[in-house]
Amino acid sequence: MTHATLFSPLALRGVTLRNRIAMSPMCQYTASDGMADDWHLVHLGSRAVGGAALIMVEATAVSPEGRITPGCLGLWDDAQVEPLARIARFIQRQGAVPGIQLAHAGRKGSCRASWEGGAPLPPCDGGWELLSASQMPFSPSSPTPRAASTADIAALLRDFANAARRAVAAGFEIVELHAAHGYLLHQFLSPLSNKRCDAYGGSPEGRNRLLIELVLAVREAIPAEMPLFVRISATDWIQGGWELADTERLCVRLKRHGVDLIDVSSGGLQPDAQIPVAPNYQVPLASHVRRAADMCTGAVGLITEARQAQEILARGDADLVFLGRELLRNPYWPMDAQRALNERRTPPLPYRSAMAG
């Protein structure tokens, strides 16, 4: 596997990214009935204008019950396709690639928005029943979810596959499955949240089964030339939980079943995890997965400086860097990084006179 520089292209199946900078999926909690609006167009479109190669739309629920909050985006209805298609078209016109993350919140759903405190949303205020691998709440103050039945799992497979088809119809060029941060697919993976005794629990193979089946279902629902990503929490940061060795074994299987890149994050399963947050703290996880599974990875988490991102790629720790909060602070970070690394700047034509040099 080759090493790269920040402004070298990356080819994945039938898609080529113009550089190695991706906008990480970040929930905005501003949708109504799952529908994207002008906020999403400006929020996502400005980062495409700013020079990022991949614009990943936030966690997009595959069913109404899969939302984190009432303000989450959705792709459970055909009416939700065109508002997202408008955004995908704009992103493409800026030379960037539109991607979308498909998700189900599981036991971390039915909450108020973060600026409203993020507390569980009761049924009297529009809340909904929660679904998880087992009847275990996220925290002592959280509602107890219902353990998914065989019928629920069959519905999940249909919902993810149908959402993937709608993503294709909307013009997205990359699909990512959200199996990190304590949401439903992560709840099935971790032994701390999955206490099932059926085919979807117990052994690592059983706990991995839902994600593998979803990958196969989504891979079948999207074109062969379309890349498929999976975001993974590589470790729970909790003794006895999901660990890096589990991630390694899973990713070997994911590659075999058609996954093209692992977006490597960590944590989120339980609120008491002790996470050693610092610049580059998740980069060794991405590096380990890249080498052990012999597949492309994305590094994410407190990557804020151009030379920092360049070094991650130059060392071969990852193939792509995902920027989150730093792109919220500065939509034009990629162009600033070009200047910092003495690369030729390529601002959009209407801005060129102001950004020359």
> Could you list the active site residues?
183
Cβ atoms of residues 173 and 97 within 8 Å? yes
What's the angle, vertex CA 152, arms to CA 150 and CA 154, rounded to 5?
Answer: 70
Cβ atoms of residues 161 and 215 within 8 Å? no
The one-letter amino acid code at 312 reads: I
| SS3 (DSSP) at 143 | coil
- Residues in CB range of 193: below 8 A, 6 or more apart: 107, 132, 133, 134, 136, 182, 186, 187, 269
The one-letter amino acid code at 115 reads: W
DSSP 8-state secondary structure symbol assigned to residue 248: H
> CA Rg, the chain, in Å?
19
Cβ atoms of residues 275 and 240 within 8 Å? no
Cβ atoms of residues 290 and 1 within 8 Å? yes
Structure tokens at 317: 């720790």
Annotate 52-63 with three-state secondary structure. Answer: CCEEEEEEEECC
Cβ atoms of residues 87 and 40 within 8 Å? yes
Rounded distance, CA 48 to CA 91, Å? 6
CA distances from 61 to 157, 185, 245, 342 (A): 13, 13, 29, 41
Structure tokens at 216: 């196969």
From first CA to last CA, the distance across the chain in angstroms is 34
Cβ atoms of residues 130 and 109 within 8 Å? yes
Q: How many residues does the chain have?
A: 357
